[in-house]
């Protein structure tokens, strides 16, 4: 009976996560929070945690503890006006945690995704994962095997991770039934949102970025002939292009009347310049542009490996 009630509750939470679509034009909250090394004032953001993990976050730009209230089923503990602590539940799923104030009305909804543990098996609930490299490169300690994945049902695909991105956009392109599994890093999500912010300053207001390739399972990554240590396999990379008109091709960013490699170069150059700003300091990574092929238009690869890297095609 308890299991049935828990499943019903999770379904209701998912419905709320979909219905409470963020207002894209609303900008940022008048306060901010820092969690897992990322500071944000966006009205919605996501973190990914293991079952039972203790999570601590700090609130900023507040004057008193009663200024910000917390609405969540996670059992949050207020250690001070600025510090909030909670323990992730045992069951995988998404648990919204809303920080809000009434005067003036403002809020940040933190989507807490509790992961399904992964022990290195070839499949997870029937979904093909493949195998991660057994050797962790000494210079790439982040290439240790992921400890867990986001469990994605069909209903969960439309859940918003941040103001401009939904779960489905990052799923691996391999065929397979639900549940599917996704590895995603908070830093990548943060970087993509910052890119959208900066594109708006260039006159390109984007409802989202088209993601040609987000997460790749090791099995899929091997099948398409990519290198085994690709950052896509760790949820830290995305192949992106600007597609405001939804035609499946890069927009004319350099305004020369064409869609070609020069537009990908323009996007790459902008991101390279923006990456010198302090806000990108913890989000450095690979950056490359790719030309059109028979299966896709030009695009740009970005990742969050921790140091700047660039290459050709």
- Gap between the Cα atoms of 157 and 90, Å rounded: 21
Are 126 and 188 contained in the same domain? yes
73: which residues sit within 8 A by CB, 6+ positions away? 9, 95
Of 114, 148, 167, which one is at a domain's C-terminal end?
Answer: 114
Are 157 and 294 contained in the same domain? yes
Which CATH number characterizes residue 49's domain? 2.60.40.10
How far is CA 25 from its chain centroid?
Answer: 20
Are 134 and 201 contained in the same domain? yes
Q: Are 91 and 124 in contact (CB under 8 A)?
A: no
Are 94 and 149 contained in the same domain? no
Enter the pTM of the model: 0.89
Are 146 and 238 contained in the same domain? yes
Whole-number pLDDT of residue 129: 98
Q: Give 268's DSSP letter.
A: H
Whole-number pLDDT of residue 8: 45
- Gap between the Cα atoms of 78 and 96, Å rounded: 17
Listing DSSP states for 91-148 in one string gives S-EEEEEEEEEETTEEEEEEEEEEPEE--S-SEETTEE-----SSPPTT-GGGSPPSE
Whole-number pLDDT of residue 9: 47
Helix, strand, or coil (residue 197): helix
Q: What share of the chain is helix, strand, coil (3-state, %, to 5)?
A: 25, 30, 45
- Structural domain boundaries enclosing 93: 2-114
Of 85, 114, 143, which one is at a domain's C-terminal end?
Answer: 114
Per-residue pLDDT of the chain (313 residues; tens, 9 = 90+): 545 544 544 554 444 444 444 443 347 999 999 999 999 999 999 999 999 999 999 999 988 778 899 999 898 998 888 999 999 999 999 999 999 987 778 999 999 999 999 999 999 999 999 999 987 655 555 678 999 999 999 999 999 999 999 999 999 999 999 999 999 999 999 999 999 999 999 999 999 999 999 999 999 999 999 988 999 999 999 999 999 999 999 999 999 999 899 999 999 999 999 999 999 999 999 999 998 888 888 999 999 999 998 887 5
Tokens 């602590």 -> residue = 85
Are 15 and 28 contained in the same domain? yes
Of 114, 141, 166, which one is at a domain's C-terminal end?
Answer: 114
- Gap between the Cα atoms of 7 and 209, Å rounded: 33
What is the CB neighbour count within 10 angstroms for residue 124? 19
């Amino acid at each position: 009976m308890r299991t049935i009630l828990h499943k019903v509750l999770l379904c209701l939470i998912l419905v709320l996560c979909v219905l409470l679509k963020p207002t894209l034009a609303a900008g940022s909250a008048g306060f901010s929070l820092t969690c897992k090394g990322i500071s944000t004032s966006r009205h919605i953001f996501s973190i990914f945690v293991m079952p039972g993990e203790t999570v601590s976050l700090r609130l900023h730009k507040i004057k008193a503890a009663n200024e910000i209230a917390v609405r969540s089923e996670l059992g949050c503990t207020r250690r001070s006006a600025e510090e909030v602590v909670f323990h992730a539940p045992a069951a995988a799923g998404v648990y919204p945690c809303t920080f809000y104030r009434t005067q003036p009305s403002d809020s940040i909804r933190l989507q807490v995704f509790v992961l399904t543990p992964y022990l290195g098996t070839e499949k997870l609930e029937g979904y093909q994962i493949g195998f991660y490299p057994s050797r962790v490169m000494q210079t790439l300690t982040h290439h240790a095997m992921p400890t867990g994945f986001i469990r994605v049902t069909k209903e969960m695909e439309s859940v918003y991770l941040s103001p401009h991105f939904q779960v489905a956009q990052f799923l691996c392109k391999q065929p397979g039934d639900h549940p599917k599994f996704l590895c995603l890093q908070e830093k990548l999500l943060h970087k993509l949102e910052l890119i959208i912010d900066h594109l708006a300053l260039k006159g390109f207001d984007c409802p989202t970025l088209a993601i040609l390739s987000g997460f790749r399972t090791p099995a899929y990554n091997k099948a398409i002939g990519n290198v085994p240590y690709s950052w896509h396999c760790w949820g830290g990379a995305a192949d992106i292009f600007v597609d405001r008109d939804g035609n499946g091709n890069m927009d004319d960013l350099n305004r020369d009347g064409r869609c070609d490699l020069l537009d990908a170069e323009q996007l790459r150059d902008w991101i390279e310049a923006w990456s010198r700003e302090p806000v990108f300091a913890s989000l450095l990574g690979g950056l490359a542009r790719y030309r059109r092929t028979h299966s896709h238009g030009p695009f740009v690869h970005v990742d969050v490996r921790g140091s700047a890297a660039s290459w050709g095609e």
